[in-house]
Amino acid sequence: MDNQSPPFWKSKTLEAMSESEWESICDGCGRCCLVKLEDEDTGEYYATDIACRLLDTALCQCRNYAERQSLVPDCVRLTPHEARTLGWLPPTCGYRLLAEGKDLPWWHPLVSGSQETVIEAGVSVKGRVHCHEDEIAVEDVINRIKQWPLAYPKKARALKGSTVPAGSKES
C-alpha cells in the first residue's frame, strides 16, 4: 500500500495553496502573455502571436515579474477568482484546469519533472511569437490573430496518450 500523500494540487484548493505552490502551477508556456482582443459585441476573445513587451520569448518568462503590473497596467495578477472567470485563459493553463476540477496534464512540469515537456507538447510560445507589442503598429495587430494560443495543441494530446479536455479547441 502506498502511503505517499497526493500532490498538493490534488489535495488543496487554489485558495489554500502557498505562494510557492501557486506560482508552480504556472507551466511557463507564455500564452497568457500574448496580446488578446475582445469583440465588444459578442464578448469573444481572440489571441495573437504578439507578446507583451516584458515577455522574454526565449525563456517564456517575464523580464520583470515583480513589477509587471506597474510597468504594464493591463497585466492581470491571476488569483483563484480570475482562474475561474477569465475567458481568455488558454485551455492548457494549469490554473484554469484546476479551477475546472481537472488534473494537470502529462507535460506540465509538476507532473513530468521537466520544463522541456511544455515545449515538446507544443504548449509553449517559444519560437511562435511574431514580435513584441511595442514593435507593431496598433492597426496591424488584428492581422496577427491566431487560433493556436486559445486551443489545445494536438501534440499535447497525441503524446503520452493524453486526451484533450472536453470542450477544448485543438490547434
**Are the C-beta atoms of 136 and 145 separated by less than 8 Å?**
no
Give how many domains the chain has, as a whole number.
1
| Backbone φ, ψ for residue 3 (5° rounding) | -95, 10
- 146 has which bridge partners? 47
Lowest mean pLDDT among 18-22, 46-50, 153-157: 153-157
The answer to whether residue 114 is domain-embedded is: yes
The answer to whether residue 89 is domain-embedded is: yes
Q: Is the pLDDT of residue 164 over 70?
A: no
The answer to whether residue 162 is domain-embedded is: no
Instruction: Taking residues 79-107, report their average pLDDT.
Output: 96
Q: Which residues of 29-65 are buried (b: 16+ CB within 10 A; e: fewer)?
A: bbbbbbbbeeeeeeeeebbbbbbbebbebeebebeee
| Strand duo 45-51 + 131-132: pairing | parallel
Q: Is the pLDDT of residue 57 over 70?
A: yes
Range of 74's domain? 18-156
CB count within 10 Å of CB 4 equals: 6
Q: Is the pLDDT of residue 4 over 80?
A: yes
**Are the C-beta atoms of 107 and 29 separated by less than 8 Å?**
no
**Are the C-beta atoms of 124 and 28 separated by less than 8 Å?**
yes
| Residue at 168: amino acid letter | S
Q: pTM of the prediction?
A: 0.87
The answer to whether residue 13 is domain-embedded is: no
Lowest mean pLDDT among 4-13, 141-150, 159-168: 159-168
Confidence of residue 169 (pLDDT cuts 50, 70, 90): low
The answer to whether residue 12 is domain-embedded is: no
CB-count exposure of residue 91 (10 Å: 0-12, 13-18, 19+): buried
Q: Is the pLDDT of residue 3 over 90?
A: no
Q: Is the pLDDT of residue 166 over 90?
A: no
Instruction: Taking residues 1-19, report their average pLDDT.
Output: 90
pLDDT of residue 109: 97
Q: What number of residues does the chain have?
A: 171
Q: Is the pLDDT of residue 170 over 80?
A: no
pLDDT of residue 53: 96
The answer to whether residue 167 is domain-embedded is: no
Three-state DSSP at 34 gives: strand
- 56 has which bridge partners? 61
Instruction: Taking residues 155-168, report their average pLDDT.
Output: 60
Question: Residue 45 to residues 7, 40, 100: CA-CA distances in angstroms?
Answer: 33, 9, 19
Tell me the per-residue pLDDT of 70-92, one tens digit each, with 9 for 90 and over: 899 889 999 999 999 999 999 99
Q: Is the pLDDT of residue 107 over 90?
A: yes
Look over the chain and give the mean of its residue pLDDT values, rounded to a whole number: 91
The answer to whether residue 108 is domain-embedded is: yes
The answer to whether residue 40 is domain-embedded is: yes
